[in-house]
Structure 1
Amino acid sequence: MGFCEFTVKDGIFVLTLDSGDGGHNYLTLQSMADLKQKLEEIRRKARPWNKGLITTCSGGAFCHGVDYGALSQPMVDELSHRMAEVLRLLFEMPFPTAAAVTGDVKSSMALALVMAHDDTATLKETMFEMPEVRDGLGNLPPYVGALLRDKVSFPLVRSSLLLCSEAMNGSKMAYWEFCEGIRDDNEAVMKEAVHIVEVRIGKVRDGRDYITTRKSFFPESWRAVSQFLGDHN
């Protein structure tokens, strides 16, 4: 298995990020290429009868993100650009998307990957953190702040994550209305993600209209990603 693989069950695409034998899934040029390729393939295979996309993980980390301390700034910049391409693909999925967060989210880019989905179900004990902020290792991509402003209504949680790098578990993130629901085990998180896609968001009649509506719901995020990539749409 590469960085990620997907299956289709009951009309729902399930994209699984693999932590590998060492329990780590840092973002690299290869892993970002794998992620983009799989999302492009899902987009090509999408049909009107498909219900949505759920992104989850196979190990203790949803995504470690970028190892800022081990990479040069040009490499970090390149990975930030590639993540923006992934976010754009998620924004352009013609059906509902949900992140089933059953492992830790350990950097700003990993958090951006979660937030680019329409909604989130998370394990109660899952930790969300941005250690690069705490350690002063680099500037955050501008789309991270935009996604937080669009997705999190409380300024306190945004400042705690962005300015203080406070680590928060799933229970606290739910309190701040970051996610749709928290659950005690992985199976329950996946069931909640399926419920989000099938029931809470429901059937999409026109994928193009859904994409347009999604972008209108999260205008700052879409604008930040587009500008970062040099787009004009």
Structure 2
Amino acid sequence: MILCRSKEVVGRQNTAMGFCSLVAQDGGIFVLTMATTDGHQYLNDEAITELVDKLSTVRKNPELRGLVTTSKIGSFCDGIDYDNNPEEQAAHLAQGMAEVIRLLLEMPVPTAAAVAGNATSLGLALALAHDHCVVWDYAVVMLPEAQRGRPLPEYASALLRDKVAHARLRKLLMLKSQRCTGKELASTWYSAHCANSDRAALVNSAWEVLEGVEVGKGTDFAKARQIMWPESCAAVGVATLPPRPRPSPQELQSEKAKQDPGKIFDKQNKPALQRGSGNAIYTLSSVNIIPMPLTYRCLRINSI
């Protein structure tokens, strides 16, 4: 295991205001650490203001090549404290968090959340807004909004649709306030890199993940997120790229003929039966790009 070394961040980034701090690590990886005295990392006006300030500042740093977000003690982030915030104030805080999510989705470098504690309410949305998640095995992940009768912001719903693979799990989280552990969710998040039983090693694991991502040479991470997670980007006001027009049947047939000029296609744009092939025909009837972490891609081939 490679241990990352930290160094002081000069200027405005080195100011400790109370909710979060920003420290530069070796290789241009910056670590944003949330820490409050009660260990809940609740999101209030001051916390959201600090997050916006730190994210707005770090993205302008010429040495930046990756961002890790984590917590120091207790939970990763417990979102909004509904016991002490009436509905109108909670809606105001949720609206403010949209700016934090937007800044993460527009970050010009890869990002990773080292979820070293519980991620509940909008704390889960904060984690999902990162490209990668390294999760503590025993972290509790849940959305208490349904249980409390509070609305879930559209961007939180969009992040769940974009990042959590199984529809049933999304429904349990959103409609039943189901409690899950980091270990249980690690295999279902598109963006989850791994779960780890060693809580103290999570930041270093996230740092290693980002170290393996190539930055520069024209790589546009913000544009990649617009393509991969369009609903999440649109929900916080990030302009998304227009969808590519669907090719016509003639264009599909022409493309397939170029790829395999020796194969004969029928009128329905499917390979004709070949002698000795039996009754089964397998075609690339559709190839779908599945949203995955920025460093991975996966093709799903449908058979008929």
Q: TM-score, normalised by structure 1?
A: 0.90
2:58 partner letter = I
Cα separation, partners in 2 of 1:177 and 1:115, compared to 1, 3 Å: closer
The Cα shift of 1:175 comes to 2.8
Deviates more, 1:95-104 or 1:173-182: 173-182
Where in structure 2 are the equivalents of 1:119-138 lying within 5 Å? 119-136=132-149, 138=150
The Cα shift of 1:177 comes to 3.4
Identical amino acids, percent of aligned pairs: 37
Larger Rg: 2
Residues of 1 paired with 2:71 and 2:155: CA distance?
23
Q: Note if 1:110 corresponds to 2:127.
A: no
Residues of 1 paired with 2:224 and 2:145: CA distance?
33
The residue aligned with 1:98 is 112
The Cα shift of 1:106 comes to 2.0
Which of 41, 44, 49 is equivalent to 1:33?
49
Q: Note if 1:198 corresponds to 2:211.
A: yes
Which of 32, 41, 46 is equivalent to 1:15?
32
The residue aligned with 2:22 is 6
- Tell whether the 8 Å contact from 1:7 to 1:15 is kept in structure 2 after alignment: yes
Which of 126, 148, 158 is equivalent to 1:146?
158
Residues of 2 paired with 1:152 and 1:99: CA distance?
15
Which of 183, 186, 191 is equivalent to 1:171?
183
The Cα shift of 1:174 comes to 1.1
Name the structure with the higher helix share. 1
How big is each residue's C-alpha offset from its partner over 1:83-133, in whole Å with a ceiling of 9 and x where there is no partner? 0000110011111000000011121x1111101100100110111012222
Residues of 1 paired with 2:141 and 2:41: CA distance?
15
- Tell whether the 8 Å contact from 2:233 to 2:239 is kept in structure 1 after alignment: no
**How many aligned residue pairs are there?**
222
Which of 234, 237, 241 is equivalent to 1:223?
234
The Cα shift of 1:156 comes to 1.5
How big is each residue's C-alpha offset from its partner over 1:146-194, in whole Å with a ceiling of 9 and x where there is no partner? 0011111111111110011111011101132351101111233223211
- Tell whether the 8 Å contact from 2:225 to 2:233 is kept in structure 1 after alignment: no
Q: Following TM superposition, where does structure 1 have runs of at least 4 consecutive aligned residues deviating by more than 2 angstroms? A: 20-24, 201-207
Q: TM-score, normalised by structure 2?
A: 0.69
- Tell whether the 8 Å contact from 1:204 to 1:210 is kept in structure 2 after alignment: no
Secondary structure of the residue that 1:68 maps to in structure 2? Answer: coil
The residue aligned with 1:63 is 77
How big is each residue's C-alpha offset from its partner over 1:56-81, in whole Å with a ceiling of 9 and x where there is no partner? 00011111110123212221121111
- Tell whether the 8 Å contact from 1:102 to 1:189 is kept in structure 2 after alignment: yes
- Gaps in structure 2 of 5+ consecutive residues: 1-15, 241-304
- Gaps in structure 1 of 5+ consecutive residues: none
Residues of 2 paired with 1:96 and 1:175: CA distance?
21
- Tell whether the 8 Å contact from 2:58 to 2:64 is kept in structure 1 after alignment: no
Residues of 1 paired with 2:54 and 2:156: CA distance?
22
Residues of 1 paired with 2:228 and 2:239: CA distance?
18
Residues of 2 paired with 1:128 and 1:155: CA distance?
16
Q: RCO greater where, 1 or 2, for CA within 8 Å and sep 6 or more? A: 1
